[in-house]
Amino acid sequence: MDHMTVSDFFPMWNQLEPIQQMRLSGSAAPRTIRQGTVIHRGSTDCVGLLLILSGQLRGYILSDEGREITIYRLFERDICLLSASCIMNSIQFEITIEAEKDTEVLIIPPDVYKEVMEQSAPIANYTREIMSSRFSDVMWLIEQVMWKSMDRRLAAFLLEESALEGSSVLTLTHEKIGNHMGTAREVVTRMLRYFQSDGMVKLTRGKVEITDAAGLSALAD
C-alpha cells in the first residue's frame, strides 16, 4: 500500500488555508475495515468522510423485502461522501456501505469536514463534484434496470467483476450476484445456466468461470 496522506485525496489542497489543512489532516483517523463489515447503514448513520487507502467498498440500497442492489463501488484513492451525509442537510439517502475486501481508510469526522467545507469554496465545490458523480452512478443504474435486459446486465456484470479481480474465475454465489443486481437468486441461476448452455461460462459450486469473454462482451453491448 502506498503511503498516502489526506492531501492526496484533494486536488485543490494547495488552495486551502494552512489551518484548514491542519484541521483535515489532524482529525483523520486510520481504520481497518474487515471484509463483510457494514460501516454505514442509512441516513441516521454519519460515520464521517472515508478516504480509501486500499481495498474495496460497496454502496447498496435495500428494499423493504430485503432485496439489495449495488449502487456503486469505491476503490483506492476514492472518497466515500455518503457515509458523512449529515453534513448535507438536504440529502437523506438510505444507503448501506460495506467492505467487499479488507479495506484501509482514513476517517475525517463529519463536523470537521463540514466546518472546513463552510469556510472553503474549493472544498465545497469539490464536494459537490463528488456528490454529482455519485448521483450520476445512480441515474446510470436506473437506466440499466429500466431499459436493459437481464441477460445483457448480467453479462456486463460478469465482465466487470473479471476485470476487477484480474481473473476469469469468479468466486461468487448466485445469491451474491443477485444482491449486486437487485434480482432474485433464481433469476441469476436461470440466466447463468443459459450462458453455460451457450458456452460462455462454466458453473461450479460458488464459482463462475468465464469461458467466452468475447461472447459475453457482444451480449453486453
C-alpha dihedral, 104 to 109 to 112 to 113, nearest 10°: 60
- pLDDT at residue number 148: 82
pLDDT band at 1 (very low <50, low <70, confident <90, very high): very low
Q: Which CATH architecture has domain 6-145?
A: Sandwich (2.60)
How far are the Cα atoms of 22, 88, 145, 174 from residue 116, in angstroms, in the given order?
10, 13, 38, 44
| Residues 63-68, mean pLDDT to the nearest whole number | 83
Which of 23 and 138 is assigned the larger pLDDT? 23
Domain ranges for the chain: 6-145, 148-220
Distance between CA atoms of residues 191 and 212, nearest Å: 15
Per residue in 168-183, pLDDT (tens digit) is 999 999 999 999 999 9
Which pTM does this prediction carry? 0.82
pLDDT band at 67 (very low <50, low <70, confident <90, very high): confident
- According to CATH, what is the number of the domain 148-220? 1.10.10.10
- pLDDT at residue number 138: 86
Residue 205 Cα to chain centre, angstroms: 26
